[in-house]
Chain A
Amino acid sequence: MNHRFFEERLFVDQPLPLEEQILVEEHIQSCERCRVLRAAWQETEVELKLTQWVAPREGFSQRWRERYLRRTTVAQQRRALGVFLVTSLLAALFAFPFFAIIASPAQPLWLRVMVALYNLSALIPVVEGVVTFLSTVGRAIVQVIPLTMEIAFGIAFLALMGLWLAMLRKFSFGRVRTP
């Protein structure tokens, strides 16, 4: 048996079989390195077992209460701000077609509603144009790039997205890991 065999056994915390114990003891008598290493580990182990616990400063739970309240308040403020922004955005979107009504109060109501609807419908060709453009570009890409390349690009893109999300989750949102 080589030196490594004995050195490995110096750090086993389960009792060794008697035969192995005798072999290890015999080896230690003749091996300075193992003797020193065993003594070092024994001293370290005593240190580990005897070193006292450290306690937090007084008022730990009070500080936790304060932190909890602070966090809850910030979360509520963020939620409120989010709701406000979404509501404002939706309100702006819905209000846009009726801008004409507000803009020309002199006209009768039915006429103003008609104008608003016309304005809304005037957006349809623009949306159609964007969709047509995107689908044309898509078809051109499909014709130029081979299918295998597209699949490869797709997989690479998804993998990158996944990696990005994983990193974001791990390092930005402080994932709570529970067993």
Chain B
Amino acid sequence: MKPTVQGEDVREQELRWVQQALAGDTEAFVQLIEIYQRSVYNLCYRMLGNAEDAEDAAQETFLRAFHSLRKFDQQRSFVTWLLSIAAHYCIDQIRKRKMTLFSLEDNPDLEFASHDPHPETTISLREDQQRLQQLLKTLSETDRAAIVLYYWYDFSYEEIAQSLSLTVSAVKSRLHRARRTLAEGWLEKYPPASREVERKGYESPVF
């Protein structure tokens, strides 16, 4: 699902807010935050692996976007530009801190996009998120950003290249390498033998 604002009217509205924000109107910029906070936050979360850092990075992304709004080319998509700032910020943060992604079990504040009232569903979602974060942390920061933009945001190779300041061929090769790393990580975590046992456990003894 690409996080774009649909429709020409909405695009025009978005540009109006950008222009008002350029004139110093912070409330117009807050409207843009309301629309894109989830996209930016999700990217930061996937990159940094925990809610606290993701919140900080998302906030910082919007601050930086507000301060460098003059550099935004209004012919381009605003959200692509925004996500590019977020990706660069997260990459810099990971490099700076050489941080390790910690377990989501330590992270009770995490909120999922779908607020399911059933606790068993929430636990299952949490496990899925945890499993995925464990896999993502095996990737280098730039490969991680490429994978996240490709699979969550449906970015094209060109858009990823533009967002991460890479060439299209570098993006392709990074994605290819990342897929292999993820598959190998998956295999390591869930070896075929264990999956076979798990599958057989669910099978009915009748058949």
Contacts and interface: CB of A to CB of B under 8 A. Distances in A.
B53 interface: no
Contacts of A49: 151
A41 B182 contact: yes
A65 interface: yes
A139 to B, nearest CB: 46
B187 A67 contact: no
Tier of interface size on chain A: 35 or more
A177 B128 contact: no
B200 to A, nearest CB: 16
Given A37-B187, A52-B125, A177-B85, A68 B66 contact: yes
A110 interface: no
A179 B84 contact: yes
B155 interface: no
A179 B111 contact: no
Interface in A43-78: 43-45, 47-57, 60-61, 63-65, 67-68, 71
B61 to A, nearest CB: 10
A44 B135 contact: yes
Size band of the B side of the interface? 35 or more
A12 interface: yes
A94 interface: no
Given A11-B179, A176-B67, A54 B129 contact: yes
B63 interface: yes
A170 B88 CA distance: 12
Given A43-B186, A55-B111, A179-B84, A11 B59 contact: no
A11 B165 contact: no
A41 B147 CA distance: 13
B45 A63 contact: no
Interface string A7-24: 010111100000000000
B4 interface: no
Per CB-CB distance, the 9 closest pairs between chain A and chain B, nearest first, are A41-B183, A11-B179, A53-B113, A177-B88, A56-B41, A48-B151, A40-B183, A40-B186, A40-B187
Interface of B: 26, 30, 33-34, 37-38, 41-42, 45, 51, 54-55, 58-60, 62-64, 66-68, 71-72, 81, 84-85, 88-89, 92, 96, 109-114, 125, 128-129, 131-132, 135, 147, 151-152, 162-163, 165, 175-176, 179-180, 182-187, 190, 192
Interface of A: 8, 10-13, 36-37, 39-41, 43-45, 47-57, 60-61, 63-65, 67-68, 71, 170-171, 174-179
